[in-house]
Amino acid sequence: MNITDLQGTFKLHNGVNMPYFGLGVYLSEDGEEVINAVKWALEAGYRHIDTAAIYKNEEGVGKAIQQSNVPREDIFVVSKVWNADQGYDSTIKAFEASLERLQLDYLDLYLIHWPVVGKFKETWRALEDLYKEKKIRAIGVSNFLQHHLEEVMEDAAVIPMVNQMEFHPYLVQQELLDFCKEHHIQYEAWSPMMQGKIFEMDAFKAMAKKYNKSIAQIVLRWDLQKGVITIPKSTKKERIVANAAIFDFELSSEDMEQLDQMDKAHRFGPDPDNFDF
């Protein structure tokens, strides 16, 4: 694992290189807000943008990509199929609708957003077919625990390439991380800042002072050193730039361990085994 710079990548099990640092656009308003955020990120050197149908801002993301000077093939674009659209035929339609909103010919990665019981295996079959048709360069899941992954893998033709999970020092889920590593499923973090809670914690304040870095930079560096792709969200230009300034230092093994040991199995988001949306 080589963490070099903002445009560095981790190789997925199908050989596709996925930038290990990206911009998340959850809660970024469609229109000017998300267009600016994506353009600022691309100008700063980001090459990975993560959206989803439920975020209702795919159109803005697409416009920003078109307006930027970065060639489309250099940008890793991710979206996700929402729960209400799961099932084989409806997933295909949802994918085509996302492509249309984004004004793109293909996606780099498409994810199942949540493991909807009784539907996610059919949804996965649709993703496999879209992948075989080369409409998506890589396919994966989000919010899948080990038993969900095992259920998909029972009769999957293609093993998921990515699992995007809530991941931060209070929710490490090391066993799930290890399971994904064993099966060459790339782990990815959402909510790395614990919905802002990390900024109130003394341990992070002390570590930020030690490395002369911000608290956000400490936790994002921890993600990468754990081999976890991370997509911090922001709509502020200075924060988008600052979040990515994490390639000129390295956390010691002792500090990595200290952050690992903060694990409380505590979720700030919904439980993948108990969600009703």
C-alpha 40/C-alpha 236 separation (Å) is: 9
Please report, in tens digits, the pLDDT of each residue of the chain (277 residues total). 889 999 999 999 999 999 999 999 999 999 999 999 999 999 999 999 999 999 999 999 999 999 999 999 999 999 999 999 999 999 999 999 999 999 999 999 999 999 999 999 999 999 999 999 999 999 999 999 999 999 999 999 999 999 999 999 999 999 999 999 999 999 999 999 999 999 999 999 999 999 999 999 999 999 999 999 999 999 999 999 999 999 999 999 999 999 999 999 999 999 999 999 9
Domain boundaries, the chain: 9-260
β-bridge partners, 18: 10
C-alpha 151/C-alpha 132 separation (Å) is: 21
Q: Nearest CA to 59 among 24, 34, 26, 92?
A: 34
Residue 161's pLDDT is 98
CATH number for the domain formed by residue range(s) 9-260 = 3.20.20.100
C-alpha 8/C-alpha 274 separation (Å) is: 35
- What is the spatial order of strands in the sheet that 229-230 belongs to? 23-24, 48-50, 76-81, 109-112, 139-142, 162-166, 186-190, 229-230
Which ranges of 183-276 does DSSP label H, i.e. alpha helix? 202-211, 215-225, 237-243, 253-260
Q: Is 211 a catalytic residue?
A: no
The per-residue pLDDT for range 195-241, each reduced to its tens digit, is 999 999 999 999 999 999 999 999 999 999 999 999 999 999 999 99
CA–CA distance from 142 to each of 91, 159, 202, 273 (Å)? 15, 14, 31, 13
Q: Nearest CA to 23 among 190, 162, 258?
A: 190
Catalytic residue among 55, 110, 131, 187: 55
